[in-house]
Structure 1
Amino acid sequence: MSLPAPAASPVAPVRRSRLLLVGVAIYFALALAASYSGRAWLAALAVFVLASALLSPALRRRSVVAGFAWLAIAVLLGLLAGHGEGRLALDALPVLVNAALGALFASTLRHGREPLIARFIAILESRERLASPRVAAYARQLTWAWALLLGAQACVLGAILCLAPDGVLAAFGAAPPAAFAAPGWRLYLHVGGYALVPVVFVLEYAYRRVHLRDEPHASLPLFVARVVQRWPALLESLAADAGGASARSTR
C-alpha cells in the first residue's frame, strides 16, 4: 500500500514542535549535569524545563488548568530542591510522562476532536482507511484504552514515588509502608514504566491482526519504520489541532 505524502503544516505547529525538541534537549543536558555534579537543584531545574516545554502550548492558550499544573510543579520542585532531594524530581519524570501522554489521548476523545489513534492511522497509512466503520470504531476504542492504561500507570508510578523507602515520604521524614521496601519498586519506576509501553504496543498489534482480520495490515517492522519516519508530522498535526481547539473555544 502506497503512503500519501503528509499535508503541508502551518508554520506555527512546526515552531511549537521545534520548541518542544529544544526543551527536551535542555532537559537532557541539565539531567546529565545533575548526575555528574550531584547538585539537587540542577535535577529539579531539568524536570522544570521539561514540564514547562510540555505545558507550553496550553500555557500560551492561557489554560487555567495548565497554569495551576505548572505552578504546582514549580512549588513541588522548589520544595524538593530546598530539602536537598532534587533527585526525586528526576524520579518523578516517569509519572509526568505517563500522565501527560494519558491526558493527550483522553483530550482527543472530546466532542469535535479526532481520536489520537485515528490521527495516527490517517498519517501513517491513509485517510481512506478510516472510511471503514470497523477501523474508525477500533481507533476510538484503542484511544480510550491507551488513555486509561497511561493514566493508571501514572497513578501506580506516583504511588511508588511517594511510598518507596527513598521516596517523597521518606524525604520529608515520614516512614513509608514496609510493603514498598523491596528494591524492585525503584527498578519498575525507571524501567518497567517505560518497558510496558512497547510490550502493550506489540500485543495490541497482534490483537489488531486478529480483530480486524478482514482489513489489510502492514508488517510490524514496516509499521515501526513509518512511525519513525513520520513522527514530526504527528507532532505538527497534534499542535495544529490544539491550536484549532483553542480558537474554537474562544468564539
Structure 2
Amino acid sequence: MPVLLLAYPVLVHLAVLWGAPRLEWLALVVMCAIPLYQGLRALRPGHWLSLLALAGLLHVLTRMGGGMYALFVPPVVTPAAVLAVFAGSLRAGQVPVATRLAQLSRDTLEPEVLVYTRRVTALWALILAGIAVGNAALALFAPLPVWSLFSNFVNYLLVGLVFVLEYLYRRLRFPAHVHGGFLAHLRLVARTDYKAV
C-alpha cells in the first residue's frame, strides 16, 4: 500500500503538468485500489473485478474529459471525512481521538493530559477543515499546477510538520510520561482502529 499512497499524488501532479488524460486515469485507478488493497493483495476475485469495473468506468470518464474533475474530489473529501471523525469525537459523551491514542499507550490519564488531548484533537480538526476548504478554494480559483502542488505535496508536508511539532511539544510539556519514541508513536497511530473512536 505505501507504493500506492506515494504513487497517487505523483501521478496526479504529472497529469496536471503534462495535461495527460492517461495519467489522470491511472491516478484515479490507483486511488480506487487503495481501499481495495487488502483484498487485491489476498487475490480476492471480487476485489479485482471491482477494480477492473472501476477502471473501465474511469476510462470512459477521462475520455469524456471528466478525469480532472474527479481528481478534485479526494483532496476535499478525504480531509473532510477525517475531520468528521475528529470533530465527532469532541461531542459530549465521546472520547476525543487524541485521548483514545493516549489511552492506548498508558493505563490512566491525568486531568491535565485529558485537557491536552482534547485540545490536540480540536487542533487537528481545525487543520483538516483548513485543508479541505483550502483544497476546494484552490480547485475553484487557482491555476491547476498550484492546486496540484498544494493538494498533493504541501498539505502532506504541513500535516507531517504539525505531527512532529506536536510530538516534540508533548515531550516537553509532559516529561514525566513515558514516550516510546517517535517511530513507536507512528506505529501506534497507524495501528489504531479509528472506526472504534
TM above 0.5: yes
Gaps of 5+ in 2: 38-57
Contact 2:86-2:97 at 8 Å conserved across structures? yes
Length-normalised TM-score, structure 1: 0.53
| 1:150 aligns to 2:128 (yes or no) | yes
Over the residues paired in the alignment, what is the CA RMSD in angstroms?
Answer: 3.8
Amino acid at match of 1:205: Y
| 1:126 aligns to 2:106 (yes or no) | yes
Q: Deviations over 1:2-55 (max 9, x none)?
A: xxxxxxxxxxxxxxxxxxx8xx97xx79x97xx7980756655655676899xx
Matching residue within 150, 174, 181 for 1:188: 150
Length-normalised TM-score, structure 2: 0.66
Instruction: Give the corresponding residue for 1:14.
Output: none
Larger displacement relative to structure 2 (99-108 or 83-92): 83-92
Contact 2:167-2:182 at 8 Å conserved across structures? no
Gaps of 5+ in 1: 1-20, 54-76, 167-182, 243-251
Amino acid at match of 1:96: V
The alignment of Structure 1 onto Structure 2 pairs a total of residues equal to 169
Change (3 A) 1:127 1:145: same
Q: Deviations over 1:196-235 (max 9, x none)?
A: 011011221232234335x3242xxx43322343456412
Matches within 5 A, 1:1-251: 38=22, 43-44=27-28, 47=31, 81=62, 83-123=64-104, 125-128=105-108, 130=109, 132-166=110-144, 183-213=145-175, 215-218=176-179, 222-231=180-189, 233-235=191-193, 238-239=194-195, 241=196
Contact 2:75-2:132 at 8 Å conserved across structures? yes
**In 2, distance between residues paired with 1:98 and 1:108?**
15
**Aligned-pair distance for 1:94?**
2.6
SS in 2 for 1:113: coil
**Aligned-pair distance for 1:83?**
4.2
**Aligned-pair distance for 1:108?**
0.9
Contact 2:24-2:71 at 8 Å conserved across structures? no
> What percent identity do the matched residue pairs reach?
32
**In 1, distance between residues paired with 2:73 and 2:35?**
11
Instruction: Give the corresponding residue for 1:246.
Output: none
